[in-house]
Amino acid sequence: MKKQIIISGFGGQGVMSIGKSLVEAAVDEGMHATWVPSYGPEMRGGTANCSVVLSDEPVGSPVFTYPTELIAMNLPSLTKFEPNVVAGGTIFVNSSIISQKVERTDVRAVYVPCDAIADQLGNKKVSNMVMLGAYIAATGALKEETIRHMLVEMFTGPKAKLVELNMKALEEGAKCLEG
């Protein structure tokens, strides 16, 4: 298995942390993984993206031109990266703020109203976790227990209550695949 994923959106949408969570979980599961951020001014509010490779084999190039999956959290990201996704790949669209549809017909499109779901859960910040839930459900790349384990380690002490919220966000994201 080898996944080359681009996750892109506005700074503050948690795109970097979606990537980090994927890599962390993959490493927990014994896979090889790399995370490369686009860094610089975009970190401070503009468009940000990161490139993630998950693989059973050691990772050669950590950067790539053609992703197997694109997670587009905003419209500029969809416009920029849609043409590069490999045929048969998957594009995840944050349909809460992207009204446009995926134009290509040789890729799978998954629409996830991340922000709307996060709002319903009462915390806008978990919108990226909703997307992560959708990604995992769609690709089967990682196990849900791994993510839960990771969240338990991440949120400790007074923050422990956030584990359930985040798990709920993952579940709701996964449900978007059912329709």
CB of 32 to other proteins, least distance (A): 7
Is 37 near other proteins (CB under 8 A)? yes
Which of 8, 15, 24, 112 is the binder for other proteins (CB under 8 A)?
24
| Residue 149 host element (H or E) | helix 144-154
For position 60 contacting other proteins by CB under 8 A, the verdict is yes
Q: Counting every residue, how long is the chain? A: 179
Select the residue interacting with other proteins from 10, 11, 64, 123 (CB under 8 A): 64
Between CA 90 and CA 71 the distance in angstroms is: 9
Q: Quick check: 132 binds other proteins (CB under 8 A)?
A: no
- Please calculate the CA angle 93-65-45 and round it to the nearest 5 degrees: 55
Cβ-based neighbours of 74, under 8 Å, separated by 6 or more: 8, 9, 10, 13, 47, 94, 97, 98
Which residue of 46, 56, 61, 153 would you call a contact of other proteins, by CB under 8 A?
Answer: 61
- State the nearest-atom distance from the C-beta of 52 to other proteins, in Å: 9
Q: Tell me which residues touch other proteins (CB under 8 A).
A: 20, 23-24, 27, 32-37, 39-40, 59-65
